Amino acid sequence: MTKHIFMTGGVVSSIGKGLTSASIGMLLEARGLKVRMQKLDPYINVDPGTMSPYQHGEVYVLDDGSETDLDLGHYERFTHSPLTRDCNYTTGQIYLSVIEKERKGLFLGKTVQVIPHITDEIKSVIKKVGEQDVDVVITEIGGTVGDIESLPFLEAIRQYPLIAGKENCLFIHLTLVPYLKAAGELKTKPTQHSVGQLRQIGIQPDILICRSEKPISRDEREKIALFCNLAPQAVIEERDKDFSIYEVPLSLVSNGLDEIIVKRLGLTTQSPNLEPINEVLHRLRNPKHEISIAVVGKYAEHKDAYKSIYESLDHAGIHHHAQIRIGRIQSADIENEGPECLLSGYDGILVPGGFGERGVEGKVQAIRYARERGVPFFGICLGMQCAVIEFGRNVIGLQRAHSSEFDKNTTDPVICLLDEQRKVTQVGGTMRLGSQQASLHPDSRSILAYGTSEIAERHRHRYEFNNQYRPRFEAHGMRIAGSSPDGKLVEIVELPDHPWFVAVQFHPEFKSKPTKAHPLFAGFIEAAIERHLRLVSKSTDPSAEPANY
């Protein structure tokens, strides 16, 4: 019988439910259990892919091409749970499905209502994930208890034990226990209110996880337990972790969370194997190198807009025992202040994906700087397209080289709309999405990094390298290092004469893990470390070879 864990959050948003859910997934896997992760988002949008990164951070893309909430990135990085379209639903998608059924006449003319029709639909999407070969499904409910929008989801999970059996369901509630400086103490009242609201709906949490910046004393835990109708050992402290998110699962273990979960669900398991996550932390705490990478993007000020990129850089750092200092550079600032001023001192430059014209010229300038100075460069999706534009303009001499996304009338559309996109009229879920195969050039940095000639990577784009320009780019020294198996779509470009210049049409950042860095990120960071060491030896030994190639 599949077990279900439902994770809700209270008091404030952004409390770390995604990370905590992912950590629980990791801990259960460490005990040898098969876990599936799922997130239900209360917002109405049907296509999370069209949401602004300012509001929701990055859009996370799965192998099957679904565009999902960034918490699914935590799930993939922390667990081995296979993720598909069924692992992320929004209120809008649930309603759309119910409305489509109603229009097909499946409700036989009955009045369609939130209870039972919407709640039944929600229960069916939870059930579907639990039907596969799995021991535990962890379903995270987005939003905060008390929001009007999340009520149908909460009602559905309240009903869930009625179909799955009470003994197979566990409710975990994550709250904040704030520290009031003026009073010099932790405050438990918001947690009491939040649990009170849950109990009004009919959900009694089995476990309470309390986020807090200070240690929660035994007395405070007992007080929370009493008010919230729980045993004191079911009140688990989750202290803020400043050093690394990978500390979270270990701190939950030391507070007994995994122990109480398996006990309450009646699961017999091995004791947790925490070796891999301990090794990750060991490497993070004992770096042999320290390097800095500039990420030049449109949304640099927003820490979640390039979440998976930042994580993947850290993973590559873990792989090479290097601490990575990330400089988040606003590409529009480069247009005003110049690349020299903002980029000198970095050991590598990365230009991530993106949409819209703002800051594109700054990205092009950053890439020129990296190309001319021999600074390791990694371009991703729009970053690759900008690398092609830059090379077209400054190496081949096509002054108006551009993407037709930004200049419809350019005489040199070196980046143009994909053929399959020409008839597309709707914006939601219509890009070239998900896992696609690519074949690598036998003489390329990419094949060296991957160690294989056939790869599959996740995509999310409408524009592509314009094949009409291919001969000219190749004649001027740009290598097409990867293309779709039919040879029609350019997937990777490289500059063989540069220390490390690789730009890809896909999104490698969605396939990197702390325990298994993505090969291209690992290659990029290796090149950045080499440059760093060369610069250090040059500054201490004047006879050393020049830093720039």
Which residues sit at the interface with ligand GLN, rule CB under 6 A?
Answer: 353-355, 381-382, 385, 405, 460-463
Distance from C-alpha of 337 to C-alpha of 361, rounded to nearest angstrom:
12
Closest to ligand GLN by CB, 19 or 309: 309
Closest to ligand GLN by CB, 227 or 355: 355
CA 119 to chain centre: 29
Q: How many CB atoms lie within 10 A of CB 240?
A: 12
Is residue 509 annotated as a catalytic residue, yes or no?
yes
Closest to ligand GLN by CB, 179 or 355: 355
Min dist. Cβ of residue 331 to ligand GLN (A): 13
Would you state the structure tokens that stand for residue 505, as one six-digit string? Answer: 């049409």
Min dist. Cβ of residue 111 to ligand GLN (A): 43
Would you state the structure tokens that stand for residue 174, as one six-digit string? Answer: 């994550």
Would you state the structure tokens that stand for residue 281, as one six-digit string? Answer: 């932390």
Q: Are 153 and 122 in contact (CB under 8 A)?
A: yes
Please count the CA atoms within 13 angstroms of the CA of 3 that sit on its side-chain side.
20
Q: What angle do CA 399, 402, 406 make, to 5 degrees?
A: 135
Distance from C-alpha of 243 to C-alpha of 238, rounded to nearest angstrom:
14
Output the CA–CA distances (angstroms, integers) from residue 495 to 202, 370, 440, 468, in the order listed.
61, 11, 14, 19
Strands 289-297 and 348-351, by their bridges, are: parallel
Closest to ligand GLN by CB, 188 or 385: 385
Q: Which residue is nearest to ligand GLN (CB)?
A: 353
Closest to ligand GLN by CB, 77 or 460: 460
Output the CA–CA distances (angstroms, integers) from residue 477 to 287, 388, 391, 493, in the order listed.
37, 12, 10, 10
Among the listed residues 237, 509, 518, 526, the single catalytic one is: 509
Please count the CA atoms within 13 angstroms of the CA of 276 that sit on its side-chain side.
16
Closest to ligand GLN by CB, 30 or 309: 309
Among the listed residues 4, 319, 507, 518, the single catalytic one is: 507
Min dist. Cβ of residue 418 to ligand GLN (A): 8
DSSP 36-93: EEEEEE-S--S-GGGS-HHHH-PPEE-TT--EE-THHHHHHHH------GGGEEEHHH
Distance from C-alpha of 204 to C-alpha of 230, rounded to nearest angstrom:
9
Closest to ligand GLN by CB, 3 or 460: 460
Q: Are 258 and 252 in contact (CB under 8 A)?
A: yes
Among the listed residues 87, 169, 210, 381, the single catalytic one is: 381
The residue written with tokens 């649930």 in the block is: 94
Min dist. Cβ of residue 18 to ligand GLN (A): 22
Q: Are 68 and 40 in contact (CB under 8 A)?
A: no
Min dist. Cβ of residue 505 to ligand GLN (A): 8
Is residue 361 annotated as a catalytic residue, yes or no?
no
Distance from C-alpha of 116 to C-alpha of 357, rounded to nearest angstrom:
46
Please count the CA atoms within 13 angstroms of the CA of 524 that sit on its side-chain side.
34
Closest to ligand GLN by CB, 354 or 359: 354
Min dist. Cβ of residue 353 to ligand GLN (A): 3
Closest to ligand GLN by CB, 363 or 534: 363
- HEC-encoded secondary structure of 359-410: CHHHHHHHHHHHHHHCCCEEEECHHHHHHHHHHHHHHHCCCCEEECCCCCCC
Active site positions, annotated: 381, 507, 509
